[in-house]
Chains A and B, each alone.
Chain A
Amino acid sequence: MKVSLTVNGRRHDVDVAPNTLLVDVLRGRLGLTGTHVGCDTSQCGACTVHLDGRSVKSCTVLAAQVDGAAVTTIEGIGSPDALHPMQAAFRDCHALQCGFCTPGMIMSAIDLVQNVENLDERKVREGLEGNLCRCTGYHNIVKAVLNAAESM
């Protein structure tokens, strides 16, 4: 079936089987491998992207469901020369070690900062419940999100 979607501002028309996942279109078809697959069972959040502005787990969305929608991936928010404030805060606060969870963390954190008022440590921890990190112990991630919230 034909699916047309806008990814990071560019429109793409792809022909996919109905059981194709959004994450497989992003990674396999469009080469946007910044979106990671950690668990493939809807638990870890490494595959988080924005669908019409809100964070979703792209391993738990069918490509067919996003026909006509706008998707933003980690590649769409900043560049190595001009990091998004959230990316800069992650770097400054040492909020990543292996980096595997980072794209998903950053996409979730941006949604959180944009949609939750008066962020504090508790709200950040709750807001990132859908993202697992096996390296950092979360403290510096929380610090980075609170720092970025001030500059965003």
Chain B
Amino acid sequence: MYSFEYHRPESIAQATALRAEAEDAIYLAGGQTLIPTLKQRLAAPSDVIDLSRVPGLAGIELKSDCVVIGAMTRHAEVAASAEVARAIPALAFLAGEIGDAQVRNRGTLGGSVANSDPSADYPAAVIGLGATIVTDRRRIAADDFFHDLFETALEAGELLTAIEFPIAKRAAYCKFPNPASRYAVVGVFAADFGGKVRVGVTGAGPCAFRATAIEAALGKKLDAKSVDAVEIEYDRFNSDLHASAEYRANLVRVMAKRAVEKLLTA
């Protein structure tokens, strides 16, 4: 690891001010992506700003039409939350499928979504549920948030503070995990809002996206078989040592069908 200055701000204002003043600062949440990155010397920030002591960034709040989860809420807390299990069980299930127990005890929602790893799990739910990303300066719709590989709508220094997940009538998440890391080779989050169906896909492309063709087919008939006739375009899909683009396209179909089956029995 290269050397850096370490800061532990105690308010959002302090955190963003530190970020703005420093030469090349970076926020630290659970560190489960950032610390391995620093150790491999793939990043060399001048300053690391630890968000763990900023009050108000962690916690789960159940509202009438959505669940609001603070950016610093750990995956393990979401997985174990009775509120989340009641309102959006698929989201609690997804959090419990991330990595392993130790990673879930440290990793946070905000870190995962801000990072936009192409195989991260949470982005599928953010897209599938049509969540709203709340930052220190604005609210961003899920459909406008993920831009590309590790690229989001977040501007320099913009701090993700919470995410509002609308409560679907029913929802389900299915992933095909990489057997070593548990990251999603492909993961599909399907949500039924009473007639309107949303489908978020992770792992397949450079970042999470809406599978609009699958949504249209499911809109006509909410049945796993509806997915069979959909053509999955894979020109921009990832091809790497884990899976070819074509294989990922097939996984999108299979995971989508399983998610729909699961949703219908939820």
Q: Which residues of chain A have a CB within 8 Å of any CB of chain B?
A: 1, 17-19, 21, 40-43, 45, 48, 51, 54-57, 60-62, 64-65, 67, 108, 111-112, 127-131
Within 8 A of A (CB), among B19-61: 28, 31-32, 35-36, 38-40, 48, 50, 52
Beta-carbon contact of A60 and B35 below 8 Å? yes
Chain B residues in the interface with A (C-beta under 8 A): 1-6, 8, 28, 31-32, 35-36, 38-40, 48, 50, 52, 76, 99-103, 105-106, 180-182
Tell me the nearest residue of chain A to B107, going by C-beta.
Answer: A60
* B48 pairs with A129, CB closer than 8 A: no
A45: which B residues are within 8 A, CB to CB? 100, 102
- For the complex formed, measure the closest distance between the CB of A135 and the CB atoms of chain B, giving whole angstroms: 18
16 contacts between A and B (CB under 8 A): A1-B6, A17-B3, A18-B4, A18-B6, A21-B35, A56-B106, A57-B103, A60-B31, A60-B32, A62-B6, A62-B35, A62-B48, A65-B28, A67-B8, A112-B101, A130-B102
Given known contacts A18-B4, A45-B102, A130-B101, what 17 new A-B pairs fall within 8 Å (CB)?
Answer: A18-B3, A40-B39, A41-B39, A43-B180, A45-B100, A48-B102, A60-B36, A62-B31, A64-B50, A65-B28, A65-B52, A127-B101, A129-B100, A129-B101, A129-B182, A130-B99, A130-B103
Residues of chain A lying within 8 A (CB to CB) of residue B40: 41
Distance from B127 Cβ to chain A, minimum over Cβ atoms (Å): 26
Complex Cα–Cα for A145 and B106 (A): 23
**Closest chain A residue to B36, Cβ basis:** A42
9 closest Cβ pairs, A-B complex: A130-B100, A18-B6, A129-B100, A19-B1, A54-B105, A130-B102, A57-B102, A64-B6, A60-B35
Complex CA distance for A109 and B52, rounded to whole angstroms: 26
Given A40-B39, A55-B102, A108-B101, also A19-B2 (CB < 8 A) = yes
Contact assessment for B101 and A18 in the assembled complex, using a CB-CB cutoff below 8 Å: no
Does A56 lie within 8 Å of B5, measured CB to CB? Answer: no
A42 lies within 8 A of B32 (CB): yes
Asked whether, in the complex, the Cβ of B35 is within 8 Å of the Cβ of A61, the reply is yes
In the complex, A109 Cα to B136 Cα: how many Å?
39
By a CB distance below 8 angstroms, the chain B residues around A1 are 6
CB distance from B186 to the nearest CB of A (A): 19
Q: Name the one of A17, A57, A65 contacting B50, with C-beta atoms under 8 angstroms.
A: A65
CB B96 to nearest CB in A, in angstroms, measures 9
Question: In whole angstroms, how far apart are the Cα atoms of A70 and B86 in the complex?
Answer: 32
Bound complex: CA of A131 vs CA of B3, how far in Å? 29
Which residues of A lie under 8 Å from residue B180 when comparing CB positions? Answer: 43
Q: What residues on A are CB-neighbors of B39 within 8 Å?
A: 40-41
Cα A67 to Cα B102 in complex, Å, equals 19
By the criterion CB–CB under 8 Å, are A56 and B35 in contact? no
Q: From residue B176, how far is it (CB to closest CB) to chain A in Å?
A: 16
Residues of chain B within 8 A (CB-CB) of A128 are 101
A55-B76 Cα distance, complex, nearest whole Å: 11
Q: Which residues of chain B are within 8 angstroms of A67 by Cβ–Cβ distance?
A: 8
B6 CB to closest chain A CB (Å) equals 4
Chain A residues near B181: list those with CB within 8 A: 43
Q: A62-B6, A65-B31, A129-B182 in contact; A55/B101 too (CB < 8 A)? A: yes
